[in-house]
Amino acid sequence: MAIPISYSFRNLLARRTTSLMTALGIGLTVAVLLAVSALAQGLRTSLEASGHPLNLLVTRKGSNAELYSSFTNEAFQALKFKPGIAKDSKGDPAASLELITVIVMESPENPSGINISVRGIEPRGLEIRDGARVSEGRMFTPGRREVVVGKGVAGRYPLARIGSRIPFGRGEWEVVGVLDGGRGMANSEIFCDLRQLASDQNRDNGLSSVLLRAADESSAQALINDLPNDRRLNIDVVREKDYHAQQTQSATPIRAVGTFVALIMAIGSCFAAMNTMYAAVARRSAEIGTLRVLGFPRRSILLSFFLESIFLSILGGIIGCLLVLPLNNVNTAIGSFVTFSEISFDFHVSPKIMLYGVLFAMFMGAVGGLLPAASAARKQILTALRQV
């Protein structure tokens, strides 16, 4: 004979204050874990959203990042007419020669400044980046000291607002537009005219990389396989998505620390749940004896008290999800170990992350409730009834 599940619910309601405080402790633990997971998921989503499946990034052989690569105009001219490269809207090869550098920008939160990537591109460079568009203002004019800034940069730095001037290189650059890159990396960068930036940086023939679009998947794989073997070019080719995916390692230390803190809090939450259930067992000793007299077996009593702990932990998991939900789509940034500049992205609290949070809470409830439930099931009938 089994004890009705409603019995476990009613017992939790009878101890509202104690149950709520224990659930809140579990919820706070879940919230910490979910916040760290949402940060890592937001970064991963941002990097995965960057780049077209057919976009290839070409850098000098041996360079693990665009920042350290050097690409000449002569090599670009030899590269862009290779078979397999798609054509742009004008019928020219869909290949963009680019220069990337890093500047330091001050913000109210960090007066000492943060590294921000500045990318010099040709007009077709934005066309190859399908997900990027100018959402405010206008595109920069080639040949002028004008920039468009990613929306993540514009939102975090007062100097990056339309109409402001950003000092770097040989002078100041006027902000004329804001670039919306969806969830992609374009939100973390500043874009300007390639030739103007190259002249400003004294790098007219020492540019960084080439972003090109393959005609189709087979052409993309052929370019990846064949181009590095061309000794005249001395280049490496990688898919743009794969290049950005390498930068997810930036979130590894934060995730490790956050998970460690969550685990320490989880141990405390398990003890809190255990203490709550032991107290319930002690207060309901006569009730347990009565259940045994009525014919309920030990396993039914064990299951009933164990379910109480699980229900309590589910409530805690839901509280944790509600606590962290306001973080969804909140913009933040993290430093990249690859580019040594800031990556701007949004927290992403997905349904999958919240499900993991509730399952983690249930695990804490199971660990904290098993021993008290076993203690309740082991009580002898006469011993329990004497404690009226």
Q: What is the pLDDT of residues 259-286, one digit of tens each?
A: 777 778 777 777 777 777 677 666 666 6
**pLDDT at residue 192 in the model:** 94
254 and 222, same structural domain?
no
* Global pTM value: 0.75
Q: In b/e form, how buried is each residue of 211-223, taking b as 16+ CB within 10 angstroms?
A: bbbbbeeebbebb
DSSP code of residue 234? -
Paired tokens of 98: 């680019």
- Whether residues 194 and 259 share a domain: the answer is no
Residue 133 lies in a domain: yes
Which of 181, 208, 233 lies at the terminal end of a domain, its last residue? 233
Residue 280: the pLDDT is: 66
The pLDDT value given to residue 249: 64
Q: Are residues 39 and 97 in the same domain?
A: no
pLDDT of residue 296: 67
Residues with Cβ within 8 Å of residue 110, at least 6 apart in sequence: none
* Residue 268 lies in domain: 5-48+249-386
Q: Are strands 171-180 and 146-150 parallel, antiparallel or unpaired?
A: parallel
Quick one: which of 97, 102, 142 has its CA closest to 118? 102
Does 54 fall in a domain? no
Q: Do residues 190 and 294 share a domain?
A: no
Same domain flag for 278 and 136: no
Do 217 and 146 fall within a single domain?
yes
Residue 302 in domain: yes
Based on the fold, state whether residues 12 and 157 are members of the same structural domain: no
Is 55 within the bounds of a domain?
Answer: no
Give the per-residue pLDDT at 7: 62
pLDDT at 248: 64
pLDDT of residue 15: 73
Positions of the chain with pLDDT lower than 50, given as ranges: 388
Residue 45 is predicted with a pLDDT of 75
Contact 20, 243 (CB under 8 A): no
The span from the CA of 206 to the CA of 197, in Å, is 12
